[in-house]
Amino acid sequence: MTELRDLLKRADRAYYIEASPIMSDAEYDRLLAELKQLEAEHPELDDPDSPTKRIGDGPIGGFETFDHALPMLSIDNTYSEEDLAKWHERMVRLLKDNGDPPRFVCDPKIDGVAISLRFEDGRLVRCLTRGDGTKGDEVSHAIRTVRSVPLKLDEEVPGVLEVRGEVFIPDPEFARINEEREAAGLEPFMNPRNACAGTVKNLDPSVAAERRLRFVAHGRGAMPEGFASGHAEFLEKINTLGVPSSPHTKVCKSLDEIVETIRSFDKTRRDLDYATDGMVIRVDRFAQQDSLGVTSKSPRWIIAYKYPAERTTTKLLRVEHQVGKTGKITPRAVMEPVVLAGTTVRHATLHNYGNIVKKDIKIGDTVEVQKAGEIIPQVEGVIRAERPKDAEKIVPPGECPICGGPVEPEYRDGAEDPSEETARRCVNPECPAQVREKLIWFAGRKQMDIDGLGESTIDQIRAETDIPLESFADIFRLHEHREKLLLLDRMGEKKVQNLLDGIEKAKSRGLARVLGGMGVRHIGESTAKSLARLFPDLDALLQAEEWQLRPKTLSKSEAVEKGLDADPKDRPETGLGSLTAPIFHAYLQSEAARKTFAQLREVGVDLTSKEYRARSDGQAATPEPGDGPFVGKTVVLTGTLEHYERQELSEILESLGAKVTGSVSKNTDLVIAGEKAGSKLDKAKKLGIEIWDEKTLLEHLPK
């Protein structure tokens, strides 16, 4: 086992650091499977840094947020060599009296997802997204599956070492993933970066393992004193420790060398197996970086040169109308094949139907096409002089091209002008093009919270069985197919039983959770709760008139006419807005909605409101929690609690008058800390915020 672990770690280093593979992928996978079997037979010899730990144990419950030791700031961009020269001149001038003349490091700008790796005494302990720059979500469950990220450094480094870099999906892997998705009847991903971002934030680590992400380092966070004096030395040091950086990084002493490096890499990057859209240039020495400082949003000592998008012309043959996971209908151009940025392009986005009208694009036109960020081909304009006489107008679909359901156009600033249309959506929540994404959302933790029914399980059931899973109601019929579920890979007796128990429990979540989980446009978690405070059950909601969905936004005269208080302050602090109420009301009256609700009722889903309370005059009102200890308090939950799931406790506290938020600030009134509480607890202590443990919480909750 020790020999296998060492051999596989050497194979990772040879492939990702030295660019000199010592075995094929098939051989690597065979040895990994052998090691996994041995570890299963000898659990007493477990090693947390084993290569098998990259496979992923199972979905996590959610994301914990941590502060970055040093901010992960954004980088200013430039698109011309002239602006780059001005930046260089400014750096030289500002550093004139600060030691030796500055030298610079040029790094390829990879189009991926920024990640910070934190090593403590040489072991990987935490991986964070960029987040808002000061704090990010922990995604260690996904990043630990990335073979180019070492779980343990080759040498022990005392203290904390943070490495920032980019996680990305190589082009061949992206092509493979989309081929597999299309074969399974799923919508292909638009581009590698979006696919990578979704993979990193997927709660199931096996998804990241299957998509074979890669990591390349490009920066530092916290590090031991004296570890490195500059960026080039830092990259060299972490390379010796087993962390990969780009082989195309170059140290430059002058502007001419920087420009030559940028021009040279523009040719090289077209042969790489991953997307790049520029070159990052930074002052090398850390001491000089520190003296230059930062602006409110970005460091002064670094800049990104973005390559101009390549543009060419071709003929527009026809337009396809694609329906995405949110129901958005996007026009896609089908063109005569043309080579663009090193690849053959046949399709390009037309963005939306308002864009088509503004640019006066017609079928048969000679169009200008470019790649946005070197990834997504898009139609930029028309060569009007070459328009044929039989050019055809592009007509937006009046109904969904997939399900034939109604569509809803959206306009900029509400102006119903065809040139101002920003989107067109299918409003049928059971449209086949949206079904998969809607099922995943519906089963999610903040919606129906069905344990065991994540993205991978839904995909597995839909792809590998004949079990119907096309509607929300089908989820609640899965108990009828228990024997078929048991035949699925990695779905043993216990896992299937947990899944079915989770589905049964979800039936009693109530109206707000159902509405928030259906993925209806404009109706999220908080809006669904707002509606549930107004109506006691689904029947009352379906019978409501449009104005009853928005009591707060009625004018004084409308309110008096409807029998409500003239003063908005005396009306329910809940409901929809004046723009969203008509849209949602129209959906409630649609045949698709009535069918969906009827199916849910048929399978036993509780469609009564848990939030509703009636006023003395018989009208709906926001719950009045009284004068308890949580009324008007902003509460943050952190750590693991023995008696409550976090979502369950959040709902209880909100019903008692609290506002539950995800981060600690000076406006926080109370932090409830369970076991393994992290940075939120530390921040609360620094700010002097009241902190309760679970025992104190239980003493204050209603018996």
Q: Pairing between strand 376-382 and 329-340? A: unpaired
Q: Are 364 and 315 in contact (CB under 8 A)?
A: yes
Residues 6 or more apart whose Cβ sits within 8 Å of residue 39: 1, 45, 46, 50, 52
Question: Left (φ > 0), alpha (ψ -120 to 50) or beta: where does 423 sit?
Answer: beta
Beta bridge partners of 123: 120, 152
C-alpha dist (Å) from residue 649 to 634, 637, 646, 662, 701: 14, 9, 5, 13, 10
Dihedral of alpha carbons 355, 360, 361, 366, sign: negative
Own/partner pairs, 329-333, CB within 8 angstroms, 24+ separation: 329/396, 329/397, 329/400, 329/401, 329/407, 329/424, 329/425, 329/426, 331/356, 331/394, 331/396, 333/367, 333/369, 333/379
CA 169 to chain centroid, in Å, comes to 15
Q: Within the chain, what is the greatest distance between any pair of CA atoms?
A: 82
**Interacting residues of 387 by C-beta distance below 8 A, sequence separation 6+:** 362, 364, 365, 366
- Cα–Cα distance, 192 to 196 (Å, whole number): 6
Contacts of 410-417 with CB under 8 Å at 24 or more apart are: 411/354, 412/354, 414/579
| Contact between 400 and 329 (Cβ < 8 Å) | yes
Cα atoms in the Cβ-side hemisphere of radius 13 Å centred on 443: 28
CB 520 within 8 A of CB 584: yes
Query: Which of 36, 53, 109, 250 is the catalytic position?
Result: 109
Query: Where does residue 182 rank: exposed (0-12), middle (13-18), buried (19+ CB within 10 A)?
Result: exposed
The Cα–Cα gap between 153 and 243 comes to 8
567 torsion bin: left (phi>0), alpha (psi -120 to 50), beta (else):
beta
Between the alpha carbon of residue 137 and those of residues 115, 417, 702, the distances in Å are: 10, 41, 33
Q: Which two tokens stand for residue 601?
A: 């009722």
Query: Has 703 been annotated as catalytic?
Result: no
Confirm if 179 and 238 have CB atoms less than 8 A apart: no
Cβ contacts of 697 within 8 Å, gap of 6 or more: 641, 672
Instruction: Give the distance from CA 1 to its chain's centroid.
Output: 37
Residues with active-site annotation: 109
